[in-house]
Amino acid sequence: MGGALTKTGMALAVAALLYGMAPPAFAQDTDQAPRRSRTRIVVHPRTTHLSPSARRYCRSWLVQEYRVSGPVIVPRMQCWWQ
């Protein structure tokens, strides 16, 4: 008997999804704010007299910063065009 109830419940859930009615467990929250698109970062050289074969070189290192929760290691980066 328990197996029949499970199969029936599954059949109802599948039928609800097929007909475009989402069961309450799958319903989306209407309280959430709409998601914004990700900010795009475009890197352009500062000067315009670079050759078409100019490359961007970067140097990175780790720095220890002291915060309220304790010391934290954070990345740093410096980049230039050649």
Say if 40 falls within a structural domain.
no
Residue type, 48: T
Tens-digit pLDDT profile for residues 22-36: 555 555 555 666 778
Could you tell me if residue 70 is inside a domain?
A: yes
Q: What is residue 79's predicted lDDT score, i.e. its pLDDT? A: 92
- Structural domain includes residue 13: no
Structural domain includes residue 62? yes
Q: Quick one: tokens of 55?
A: 């490359």
Q: Which domain holds residue 69?
A: 55-82
Give, in order, the Cα–Cα distances in Å from 14 to each of 5, 27, 78: 14, 14, 54
Q: Radius of gyration (Cα) for the chain, nearest Å? A: 28
| Confidence at residue 19, expressed as pLDDT on a 0 to 100 scale | 67
Instruction: Give the chain's domain count.
Output: 1
Whether 31 maps to a domain, the answer reads no
User: Does a structural domain hold residue 28?
Assistant: no
Confidence of residue 41 (pLDDT cuts 50, 70, 90): confident
Over the stretch 63-78, which tens digit does the pLDDT of each residue have?
Answer: 999 999 999 999 999 9
Of 14, 80, 6, 11, the C-alpha closest to 50 is 80
